Amino acid sequence: MSGQGKNKLIAYVAQIQARLVSITESGDTPAEDEATKIVTNVVNSLKRLSAGAPGEIRGAIKDALASNGCLSGPEPNPEAGITELSAALAGVADALGIPQEDDSEDPPKPFQPPEAEDPHPPVDTTPGDEAATLAGVVSRLWEIEEPYRLKIGTDLQLSLQHKADYDPLSDDGTLTDRATEPLFAHVDRSKYSKCDKAFIALLDNYERESDQHESVSSSEKREMDHFLDMLDDTPHMRYIHKVLVKWELAPAKLRDFMAQVYEAWFTNYYRGTSSGFEHVFVGEEKKNRNTGRSEIIGLHNWMQFAREEMKGNMDYLGYAKKGSGDGLMITVKFAWKDDDPSIEVKPCSTFLVGSSIAFEFALATLVFFGGKDGDKPWVNIGGNDCAIQLYKVKDRMGEYVRSVYID
């Protein structure tokens, strides 16, 4: 486990302990079902965040949870409450040791051998006058992104073809496809950054159906830990962290902020069946209450779209809108195949093309921490005026990403 990873775990434990103290002092004891959800989410998060830790630390964390009644076998104990969780977290904190390994506000990047060094030039991530507005910050973030994104026309080729039908799936289940070829004619995947590759490794770790409980293997937990380490090593995340600190919306230490980022994006809600990361970047299948048909929700990332298209699972049905310029921003309709005979369609999905996951994740994280549920601020990305829609899920333990997408 890297020093960064351990620090994020320590910061997460400290944040949860503070929230539990607040709940206890308020005297407003959670109902049994709410307490079960809190214990389940925290235990699962601890298991994920400690996946890359040495065996003795993982064992000590497991012992602290089990000895205080928060585990029933390998799973969270549904009968454990806030008292048991508080005691377990005290044991976890003892196992991890205090203080954090690096007490600086902006820790140095981890050592990398020469062949693995980042080929991108160093970037000054200190906010300037542009931080007076969200639009200014997004413009600066796009400047930081310039050497990281894949260029349309050279690194990747699009085949937009024809405009899609308003409703490509008829009531009798017939699909109208106005685009016989894939959307992505070519993608030079050798241009993906280390962070992009860490992101792609996560994409097959989720159940597509939104009512299916998410279980995470030990290897998947390590992939998530690695992705977070890659993220907080990017100038994109370091820049938006400093902006949010300037706005007094984030803790000064980067690892404390990344613990909050983890919690906001990867906490499972809706009875453990979904998370903000899964909805926004992976995509889900959900039954429409009005039509009774299953349809695709979320999936606002071009790399996931291109990956599924390459695997033969994604049927591009045509575009709904084309942004200005060379196709940097597009709105598409598509059907996403799985192992059942029914056809699930996404009526409309807007995403950037060629952008790095560091840019997209940093942008969405900035909007989440800087905004309120339902906000829809306007910004400009690469010459495209667009709104970014924000939705949050909230409970007494915090706020989580429900969705953030370009509209």
The domain limits of the chain are 3-96, 129-406
- In this prediction, the residues of the chain whose per-residue pLDDT falls under 70 are 1-5, 98-118, 171-173, 207-217, 270-272, 324-326
pLDDT for the residue 271: 61
Q: What is the largest CA-CA distance in the chain?
A: 62
Which listed residue (279, 286, 333, 392) is catalytic? 279
pLDDT for the residue 371: 96
Which listed residue (286, 300, 333, 392) is catalytic? 300
pLDDT for the residue 115: 46
Q: Other C-beta atoms within 10 Å of 60: how many?
A: 18
Nearest partner of 393 among 268, 302, 258, 236, judged by Cα? 268
pLDDT for the residue 4: 63
pLDDT for the residue 1: 53
Which listed residue (6, 242, 346, 392) is catalytic? 346
Is 186 in the active site? no
Is 162 in the active site? no
CA dist., res. 82 & res. 21, Å (int): 10
pLDDT for the residue 107: 52
Query: What are 352-400's pLDDT values in tens digits?
Result: 999 999 999 999 999 999 999 999 999 999 989 999 999 999 988 889 9
Is 246 in the active site? no
